[in-house]
A and B are shown apart, each in its own frame.
Chain A
Amino acid sequence: MKRSIRTVMTALMAATAIAATAGFATAEDKPVIATVVKIAGIPWFDRLETGVKAFQAANPDVVATQYGPATSDSAQQLQIVQDLVAKGVNALAVVPMDPAVLEGTLKRAMERGTIVVTHEADNQVNTMADVEAFDNSFYGAALNERLASCMGKKGKWTTFVGSLGSRTHMQWVGAGEENAKKYPDMELVDPNNESFDDANGTYDKAKELLRKHPDLAGFQTSAGNDVLGVGRAIEEAGLAGKVCLVGTGLPNPSAPYLDSGAITAIGYWDPQKAGMAMNAVAKLLLEKKELKTGMDLGVEGYNSVTVTKGAGNGVLVIGNGMMLDDKESYKAHLF
């Protein structure tokens, strides 16, 4: 008998270190909206978390918190979602790492009565509402229009995508190509270069392209780091301000290239607003309200959303949250 008590004591010693870190959360009566992002601790999702916090401050009648795996692994995100469903949160707002991996679990969550909202996953079947910052073809066309006006609507141009398997990127450059058909003097050369979101690789590829086509006048890029790689190549070739570059990027990292003129303009959506919009949609669904076209989610860029049928039984909620910033305007949105 004495032995077993001592055993428990030893184990207590071993477990205290871990147990102490677990802390004590109190039970809440208010509905809980749990936001789950792809990875915790990277700038994009830290910015999204500020949106979750802002939503919480504005809506004290719900509990809004953000979770995310420490490593970029869809299996880890899956575990978090499962634990949250088991914990009994009222609503999930998920930015899926890999929509396919989460399908089964989200289905079970909805069967259990949990509200499911997603973001950046317009192909997710098992969701009640997928929130997108903008219509992808509209965004691609807008980027291309900005590029065309910089290029004077003529000359050779090319495109970069993160990878050929990246759905949204292909939609963006596809819409860009469609838009460029309006201008017969614009000639697309060597399109759809894969960047793998790696600034160094993109830099090398952009240098090669500039050598191959000395008269290249424009780049339209897609992944977040592409503008940095291409921008560096343009700057080092002494072509800043002469070759146009429009692509997806965030203001803070792009700032030096925007100032030097190596980047013409960057397009993006603000993850903070997307986080607020996801939570707003989750709250509307918790209140059993219907999502309608023209609705105001009370978030900038989502003041008049378009609601269409989604990939499954849910809906697609599309905002107007596109941001397009150049040298003059980016300083107002530093993050």
Chain B
Amino acid sequence: MRRVDGQFLVLAAINVILLALGAAISDGSFLSIFNLQSMAGQVPEIGLLAIGVMLAMCAGDGGIDLSGIALANLSGVLSAVIVAHFVSNVEQEGLYTALFIFGALAIGFLGGLINGTLITRFGITPILCTLGTQMAFTGLSVIVSGGKAVVVGSPEPLSSIGNEFWFGAPISFILFIVVAALIGGALKFSPFGRWLMLSGSNPKAALYAGFPRSAVVTATYALSGTLSGLSGVIIAARNVNVKWDYGASYLLIAILIAVMAGVRPEGGYGRIVCVVFSAVALQLMSSLLNFGGLSNFVRDFAWGALLLTFLAIARYDLVGFVFPERRR
């Protein structure tokens, strides 16, 4: 009954091919446990931001979240500055971790709520609204940190989230998969997910059908903001320090991941599992190029080529072209 998702198959196949190619050019060291762990540890911070972008896109009406990485940095910086006032990261490690994570998530949630409110209450176009809040968030992080890196240090268990493993997988990666699964489940089975997708594909019909559209859109941006906060926690856990200008290139990469995953920019469609596969594919490719010793400009070129390929697949139904039997 259910149509096989071509995008999903292509993404999965690309991941397999990239792994095989990596093994071939590195005599197998690409598939060493250390490298797999290292790559898995790099995915979550950008993957979470990409899920945020996907949710905003699904909400329709030109939905997008440009404030992701700025909010992630703000969450890390502000939370670290505030918590350091009350608790020492050396003496009360557990309490510091708990407060830091709570603070970062709360700041992320609030930032997202501001985005959502501006968009629904004041009718500002999402791309302009989040561009504005992006600058405001970045500016605020510069002010509270004085432009310098803020030390989070390595308090346990925060440092474990960034550097330790459960069953051989980085804890941050497991966290990312669990969060992705929860959101994926919510999109598929909860009324929130239905409302989001349906109102994204046809906002007017949703309005007449009596969907709580404003509430749904606000909640979506708030969720996206909370994911940014979580991304900020993971950045802090991995890097010991947080800084306002970290990951300036992540903004476009997060959008690239979402588009590659087949999220429809007009709204109404997107699959979490595809976003996860797409984020992993980009990671594999960039690590592969570093293993091959190639210039990072080649990587930008390769990402561009990959994006165009996916747009072509979506536009011309290449999967259907190769599998004529699946055409309906």
A residues contacting B by CB (< 8 A) are 3, 6-12, 14-15, 17-19, 21-25, 27, 40-41, 65, 67-76, 78-80, 82-88, 98, 100-101, 103-105, 108, 112, 163, 165
> In the complex, what distance in Å separates the CA atom of A232 from the CA atom of B257?
45
Task: Decide if B163 touches A73 in the complex (CB within 8 Å).
Answer: no
- Does B318 sit within 8 A of A, measured CB to CB? yes
B window 284-298: CB within 8 A of A: 285-298
Complex contacts, B151 vs chain A, CB 8 Å = 100
Scan B158-191; emit 1 where CB is below 8 A from any A CB, else 0. Answer: 0000110000000000000000000000000000
Beyond known contacts A18-B285, A23-B294, A86-B34: 19 more, CB 8 A cutoff: A7-B10, A10-B10, A11-B13, A14-B14, A18-B306, A21-B294, A23-B292, A25-B25, A70-B299, A75-B248, A79-B286, A79-B290, A82-B42, A83-B39, A83-B290, A88-B29, A98-B243, A100-B151, A101-B241
- Does B305 sit within 8 A of A, measured CB to CB? yes
Given contacts A87-B29, A103-B239, contact A75 B296 (CB under 8 A): no
Closest-by-CB residue of B relative to A23 is B292
Task: Decide if A73 touches B247 in the complex (CB within 8 Å).
Answer: yes
Complex contacts, B21 vs chain A, CB 8 Å = 15, 19, 22
Most buried by A among B147, B293, B319: B293
B window 197-255: CB within 8 A of A: 238-241, 243, 245-250
Task: Give chain B nearest CB distance to A180 CB in angstroms.
Answer: 28
Complex contacts, B39 vs chain A, CB 8 Å = 83, 86
Task: Give chain B nearest CB distance to A245 CB in angstroms.
Answer: 28
19 A-B residue pairs with CB within 8 Å: A3-B323, A6-B323, A7-B9, A11-B12, A18-B302, A22-B289, A70-B295, A73-B246, A75-B248, A75-B249, A80-B290, A80-B296, A82-B42, A86-B38, A88-B29, A100-B241, A104-B240, A112-B34, A165-B148
> In the complex, what distance in Å separates the CA atom of A22 from the CA atom of B299?
9
Complex contacts, B247 vs chain A, CB 8 Å = 73, 75
Task: Decide if A70 touches B293 in the complex (CB within 8 Å).
Answer: no
Complex contacts, A18 vs chain B, CB 8 Å = 285, 302, 305-306
- Does B322 sit within 8 A of A, measured CB to CB? yes
Task: Decide if A25 touches B293 in the complex (CB within 8 Å).
Answer: yes
Main secondary structure of the interface of A (DSSP, over half): helix
Task: Decide if B42 touches A21 in the complex (CB within 8 Å).
Answer: no
Task: Decide if B290 touches A15 in the complex (CB within 8 Å).
Answer: no
Given contacts A10-B322, A11-B10, A104-B238, contact A22 B25 (CB under 8 A): yes
> In the complex, what distance in Å separates the CA atom of A79 from the CA atom of B39?
9
Task: Decide if A87 touches B290 in the complex (CB within 8 Å).
Answer: yes
Task: Decide if A100 touches B243 in the complex (CB within 8 Å).
Answer: yes
Task: Decide if B38 touches A24 in the complex (CB within 8 Å).
Answer: no
Q: Which of B241, B294, B300, B306 contacts A22 (CB 8 A)?
A: B294
B residues contacting A by CB (< 8 A) are 9-10, 12-14, 16-18, 21, 24-27, 29, 32, 34-35, 38-39, 41-42, 146-149, 151, 154, 162-163, 238-241, 243, 245-250, 285-302, 305-306, 309-310, 313, 318-319, 322-323
Main secondary structure of the interface of B (DSSP, over half): helix
Complex contacts, B250 vs chain A, CB 8 Å = 75
Complex contacts, A86 vs chain B, CB 8 Å = 32, 34-35, 38-39, 287
> In the complex, what distance in Å separates the CA atom of A67 from the CA atom of B296?
8
Closest-by-CB residue of B relative to A125 is B240
Complex contacts, B290 vs chain A, CB 8 Å = 67, 79-80, 83-84, 87
Complex contacts, B14 vs chain A, CB 8 Å = 11, 14-15
Q: Which 8 A-B pairs have the closest CB atoms?
A: A11-B13, A100-B149, A83-B290, A86-B38, A86-B35, A75-B247, A70-B296, A100-B241
Q: Which of A67, A69, A108 contacts B293 (CB 8 A)?
A: A67
Task: Decide if B297 touches A10 in the complex (CB within 8 Å).
Answer: no
Closest-by-CB residue of A relative to B159 is A104
Q: Which of A19, A27, A70, A103 contacts B240 (CB 8 A)?
A: A103
Q: Which of A14, A70, A78 contacts B313 (CB 8 A)?
A: A14
Closest-by-CB residue of A relative to B22 is A22
> In the complex, what distance in Å separates the CA atom of A280 from the CA atom of B249?
33
Task: Decide if A82 touches B296 in the complex (CB within 8 Å).
Answer: no
> In the complex, what distance in Å separates the CA atom of A80 from the CA atom of B243?
19
> In the complex, what distance in Å separates the CA atom of A41 from the CA atom of B298?
12
> In the complex, what distance in Å separates the CA atom of A255 from the CA atom of B88?
53
Task: Decide if A17 touches B241 in the complex (CB within 8 Å).
Answer: no
Task: Give chain B nearest CB distance to A275 CB in angstroms.
Answer: 17
Given contacts A21-B298, A103-B239, contact A71 B248 (CB under 8 A): yes
Closest-by-CB residue of B relative to A76 is B249
Complex contacts, A68 vs chain B, CB 8 Å = 296
Given contacts A11-B14, A82-B38, contact A75 B246 (CB under 8 A): yes
Task: Give chain A nearest CB distance to B258 CB in angstroms.
Answer: 18
Task: Give chain B nearest CB distance to A92 CB in angstroms.
Answer: 13
Complex contacts, B292 vs chain A, CB 8 Å = 22-25
